[in-house]
Amino acid sequence: MKKKGIKSITIALRFIALAVMIMSSSVIVAQDKKNDSSFDLKSRKKEVADSIRIVERGMKMERDSTNKVHVVKRDSLIEIKHGMRIGVDLFTPLLPILGDNDDKAWQVKTDFRLTPKLYAAFDIGYQERTKDFTMQWSTSKGMFFKAGVNYALLRGIFDSDDMMYVGLKLGYSSYDRHVWGDTLRSTQWGNEHIVDINDSPSALWGDLSIGVMVQVARNVYLSMDAAYDMILSSSKPNGIGPMIVPGVGQVYSNTTGFSFSYAVSYRIPLYTKTHRMKIKEHIKENQETIDSKKKKEVFRPAFQSTELIEE
Amino acid sequence: MLLAVGFIALTSCERDDICPEGSMTTPSARLEFYSIENGREETIDASSLKFYGMAAGDTLFSSSPSSNHISLPLDFEHKESVFLVEKIKEVKDPSTGTVIDVINLTDTLTLKYEPVLTFISKACGYCFTYKNITMSCTTGHSITGYEVLIEGEPSYGELLSSRQVVAKIYIDATE
C-alpha cells in the first residue's frame, strides 16, 4: 500500500517535471521572438541589457535609394561587465525520477566571460548510475570535472548575455565501479562462477556541446546544453572498458556518449572592461512595405500641381 | 529542438548491445590423436577411447573422442583438471578368434593452468581463458606417447580458443 503511494507520487513528479521543462522552454522561445521583432536603434540603446554599455565611436550606415538604412557598421568600444555564472543542472537530478530508478546525480556549471564572445567554462558534478547490460549489471559512481570554453554564436551577443554557443571541453572522472551478475557454468565439472568485480577506473573525454542561454530575470539565466562525448583515454582494469562514466553516462562501443543538461544560473558581476569591437547589423524590412513604397515612387508626379499653375 | 535532441539521446540509451554469434567463449582443451605407422605420423580414429573427468578420486563425467580429436572442458574453479584415459582391450583366442578376456588400460592425463576471468563485451559478458598451461601424462597403457604443443610457439601456454591444439596424443593403431 505504501509502495503504491510512493509510485503514484513519483509519476506525479514526472508529470510536473515535464510540465516545468515544456513551460520554461516556451519562455525561451518567447524571449527569442521578442528579440527578433524589435529593431530600432534608438530604442535598442535604451533596451541594452545591464551587462554591457556601448560607447559609440564611429558609425557608417548604408542607405538605399529610399534613404532607408540597411546595414549599420559600427566600430565601437563596448563596455562589458565580466561576471561569473554559477548554475545548477536541473535535468540530471530529474533523470532518476523520469526513469524511476535509484540513480543519483547533480551538476554545477560555471562560466566566466573572457572576451565578448569567449567564455571559460568549468563544470563539476557527481553521478551514480546502475544499468542492466543484458548479461550483467554495472554501477558507476564518482565525481567528474569538465573544463573548457564556450564560444558564442550568432546575434544577441553584444546586447545581452543571451547566447547560442558551441562548447569544447575536456572531461575527467575517476570513479568506483561494480560489475556483477554474469554467471559462468561448467555442467561437466559441476561448478559455477558468479562475476562480481569492484574496481576504480578513470576516463578522460572530449565534450563537444551546443547550447542556448537566455536571461530570464536580472542576473538569472536558463540554459540548455546537449553534448557529444568522446572517450579519449580510459583505464581498463580487469580488461573491462568504460561502461558508464560519470558525466558521460552510458558509453557506446567504448568511445561515444551523449549528455544533456538543463540549468538555471545566477551571474555574479565582477568587473567591467572595455572591448573594441566591429559590429555589422543588418536591418531587415518587410518585403511588402518595400514594394508598396516603390509603387508610390513610380506614381509620384514629376512636378507639383502648384508649380504648373505658376507657369 | 534541443529538447528533442535530448530525448532522442536519452531513449537511445535504452537500446542494448547484442552479443554476436561466434563471440568468444570459454575454450576447451583440444587433443588430436595420431598413430605412427611405418615411421609416418597419421591421424587416427580414437573413438574407442574414453576420457573420465576426475575430481578428488571421483568420476564426474565421461567423454569420447569424435573420430580423431576431443575437446576436454577444463575445471575453471581449480588450477588443474585430471582425466583418466581408458582403453578397453579385448583379448582374443588366437586360434578361435573369440574374446576370452577384457582388460581396462588406463593412463592419467593432467592439465595444469591458471584460469583467467576474461571480459568479452558488455553484451556477451565473461568467459574464462587459461594461461601457463602445462600437460603431463602417464604412458604405456592406453597412450603410447604425447607431444604438448600449447607450451611453445605461438601460444606460449595461453589457451584462448577451442581451436587451439593443446597436444598430440599418440596411440597404438594395432588392435
Domain boundary assignment for chain B: 27-170
pLDDT at A57: 53
Instruction: Provide the residue-wise pLDDT of chain B in tens; the chain has 175 residues.
Output: 555 555 555 544 444 567 888 888 899 999 999 988 887 888 888 888 889 988 877 778 888 888 889 999 999 988 989 999 888 888 888 888 788 888 888 899 999 999 999 988 888 889 999 999 999 988 888 888 888 888 877 878 888 888 888 899 888 876 5
Q: Do B76 and A193 touch (CB under 8 A)?
A: yes
Q: Could you write out the DSSP letters of every residue in chain A?
A: -HHHHHHHHHHHHHHHHHHHHHHHHHHHHHHHHHHHH---HHHHHHH--TTEEEEEEEEEEEE-TT--EEEEEEEEEEEEEEEEEEEEESHHHHHHHHHTS--EEEEEEEEEESSSSEEEEEEEEEEEEEEE-SS-EEEEEEEEEEEEEEEEESSSTTTSS-EEEEEEEEEEEEEEEEEEEEEEEETTTTEEEEEEEEE--EEEEEEEEEEEEEEEETTEEEEEEEEEEEEEEE--GGG---SEETTTEE-BTTTEEEEEEEEEEEEEEEEEEEEEEEEEEE----HHHHHHHHHHHHTS-SS-HHHHHH-
Taking contacts as CB-CB distances below 8 angstroms, the residues of chain B near A259 are 9
pLDDT at A272: 84
Mark residue B142 as left, alpha or beta (left: phi above 0; alpha: psi -120 to 50; beta: remaining).
alpha
SS3 B120: strand
Q: Do A25 and B61 touch (CB under 8 A)?
A: no
**What type of residue is B46?**
A
Q: Do B9 and A195 touch (CB under 8 A)?
A: no
Which residues of chain A have a Cβ shorter than 8 Å from any chain B Cβ? 21, 25, 91, 95, 132-136, 182, 184, 186, 188-191, 193, 195, 210-212, 224-226, 238-240, 243, 249-250, 258-260, 262
Interface test with B, best of A134, A163, A208, A254 (most B CBs within 10 A): A134
pLDDT at A34: 46
Strand segments (E) across B18-79: 29-37, 40-43, 50-55, 58-63, 69-72
**What type of residue is A241?**
G
Distance of CA A260 to the CA centre of its chain: 9
Q: Domains of chain A, with CATH numbers? A: 2-280 (2.40.160.20)
Question: Which ipTM value was assigned to this complex?
Answer: 0.72
Instruction: Provide the residue-wise pLDDT of chain A in tens; the chain has 311 residues.
Output: 445 555 666 566 565 656 656 655 555 554 444 444 444 444 444 444 445 555 555 566 666 667 666 666 766 677 777 889 999 998 888 878 887 788 889 999 999 988 878 899 999 999 999 988 888 899 999 999 999 999 988 655 555 667 889 999 999 999 999 999 888 988 888 888 999 999 999 999 999 999 998 888 888 999 999 999 999 999 988 888 899 999 998 898 888 999 889 999 999 988 888 877 776 666 665 555 666 666 666 555 555 444 444 33
> In chain A, whose CA is at the least distance from the CA of B74?
A189
Taking contacts as CB-CB distances below 8 angstroms, the residues of chain A near B117 are 184, 193, 195, 238
Taking contacts as CB-CB distances below 8 angstroms, the residues of chain B near A250 are 13
Rounded CA-CA distance B7/A258 in Å is 11
Q: With an 8 Å Cβ cutoff, is B19 touching chain A?
A: yes
Q: Do A224 and B123 touch (CB under 8 A)?
A: no
pLDDT at A299: 57
Gyration radius of chain A over CA positions:
28
CA distance A215 to chain B (A): 17
Taking contacts as CB-CB distances below 8 angstroms, the residues of chain A near B71 are none
> In chain A, whose CA is at the least distance from the CA of B59?
A189
Burial zone of A104 (CB within 10 Å; 0-12 exposed, 13-18 middle, 19+ buried): middle
**What type of residue is A188?**
Q
Burial zone of A79 (CB within 10 Å; 0-12 exposed, 13-18 middle, 19+ buried): middle
CA distance A137 to chain B (A): 9
CA distance A25 to chain B (A): 8
Q: Do B125 and A186 touch (CB under 8 A)?
A: no
Q: Do A226 and B2 touch (CB under 8 A)?
A: yes
Q: How many CB atoms lie under 10 A from the CB of residue B3?
A: 15
SS3 B88: strand
Q: Are strands A52-63 and A69-89 parallel, antiparallel or unpaired?
A: antiparallel
Beta partners for residue A106, in sequence order? A126
Q: Do B123 and A133 touch (CB under 8 A)?
A: yes
pLDDT in tens, A179-238: 998 889 888 888 889 999 999 999 999 999 999 988 888 889 999 999 999 999 999 888
Q: With an 8 Å Cβ cutoff, is B1 touching chain A?
A: no
Q: How many CB atoms lie under 10 A from the CB of residue A88?
A: 15
Taking contacts as CB-CB distances below 8 angstroms, the residues of chain B near A139 are none
Beta partners for residue B84, in sequence order? B52, B108
Q: Which of A25, A95, A151 is nearest to B1 (CA)?
A: A25
